[in-house]
């Protein structure tokens, strides 16, 4: 039974910055997810990572996938939306749109959220995660990272997402990281590729800095 309200929150030492909602992969709110939140805070962002796995952390992929299949999507959606509301109040400008960064299933949730709450999401970064719903009405800019080999997202799903974003008329960019597999940007995973992760993180950092600070200037 999933419960609401758990998560990991961190803000820059010198005060709140633009908000970033971090949506972890099916491994749970593990050390890697918290390290990512800390790294975003070091860049000047106020970060909230809701715990979508109800306190569980998985190392075995079969266990993680089984838990994902058993999760109540309505509870997850409610937790994500309530976390968004909490984060907007905690960020520098409560009226400004926030950014969302998602990994795997978290990336799919990030895309879903930006298509549903169109006035509240200004920037979306996804790592190897797709979404099939229409993106019409979105006001966000998008940066999507893709691996060369993906066990969960097909080339057709990637193409369909690109077409949906193009039809929505939004600003989007796809980065394809050659020689990688899904999970390449998550330390501790067998597919982790440190070099590719550094490249993707630099692209992510620059994208969030330029997009969110334009929507929510710090001065």
Structure tokens at 179: 């020689």
Cβ–Cβ under 8 Å, residues 200 and 127: yes
**pLDDT digit string, tens, across residues 106-137:** 999 999 999 999 999 999 999 999 999 999 99
**pLDDT digit string, tens, across residues 31-82:** 999 999 999 999 999 999 999 999 999 988 889 889 888 989 999 999 999 9
12-44 burial, b if ≥16 CB within 10 A, otherwise e?
beeebbbbbbbbbbbbbbbebbbebbeebbebb
3-state secondary structure of 201: helix
The Cβ-side half-sphere exposure at 150, using a 13 Å CA radius, reads 22
The Cβ-side half-sphere exposure at 85, using a 13 Å CA radius, reads 6
Q: If you ran DSSP here, which 8-state letter would residue 28 be given?
A: B
| Domain ranges within the chain, ordered by starting residue | 7-215
Q: Domain 7-215, CATH 3.40.1350.10 — does that match?
A: no
Q: What pLDDT band is residue 6 in, cutting at 50, 70 and 90?
A: confident
Residue 194 C-alpha from the chain's centroid: 19
CA dihedral 2, 145, 132, 70 (to 10 degrees): -20
In this prediction the pTM is: 0.94
**pLDDT digit string, tens, across residues 140-178:** 999 999 999 999 999 999 999 999 999 999 999 999 999
- For residue 171, what are the contacts with CB-CB under 8 A and spacing of at least 6? 141, 142
Q: For residue 8, which phi and psi values (nearest 5 degrees)?
A: -130, 125
User: What pLDDT, on a 0 to 100 scale, did the predictor assign at position 85?
Assistant: 96
Lowest mean pLDDT among 67-81, 97-111, 178-192, 205-219: 205-219
User: What pLDDT, on a 0 to 100 scale, did the predictor assign at position 64?
Assistant: 86
Whether 5 shows a pLDDT value over 80: the answer reads: no
């Amino acid at each position: 039974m999933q419960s609401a309200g758990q998560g990991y929150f961190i803000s820059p030492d010198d005060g709140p910055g633009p908000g970033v909602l971090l949506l972890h992969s099916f491994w749970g709110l593990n050390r890697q997810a918290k390290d990512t939140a800390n790294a975003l805070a070091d860049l000047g962002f106020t970060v909230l990572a809701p715990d979508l796995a109800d306190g569980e952390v998985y190392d075995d992929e079969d266990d993680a996938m089984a838990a994902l299949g058993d999760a109540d999507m309505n509870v997850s959606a409610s937790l994500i939306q309530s976390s968004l509301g909490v984060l907007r109040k905690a960020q520098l400008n409560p009226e400004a749109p926030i950014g969302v960064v998602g990994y795997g299933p978290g990336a799919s949730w990030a895309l879903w959220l930006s298509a549903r709450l169109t006035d509240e999401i200004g920037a979306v970064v996804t790592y190897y995660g797709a979404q099939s719903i229409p993106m019409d009405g979105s006001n966000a800019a998008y940066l999507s990272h893709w691996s060369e080999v993906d066990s969960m997202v097909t080339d057709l799903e990637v193409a369909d997402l690109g077409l949906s974003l193009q039809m929505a008329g939004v600003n989007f960019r796809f980065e394809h990281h050659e020689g990688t597999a899904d999970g390449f940007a998550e330390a501790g995973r067998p597919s982790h590729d440190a070099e590719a992760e550094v490249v993707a993180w630099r692209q992510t950092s620059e994208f969030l800095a330029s997009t969110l600070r334009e929507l929510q200037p710090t001065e």
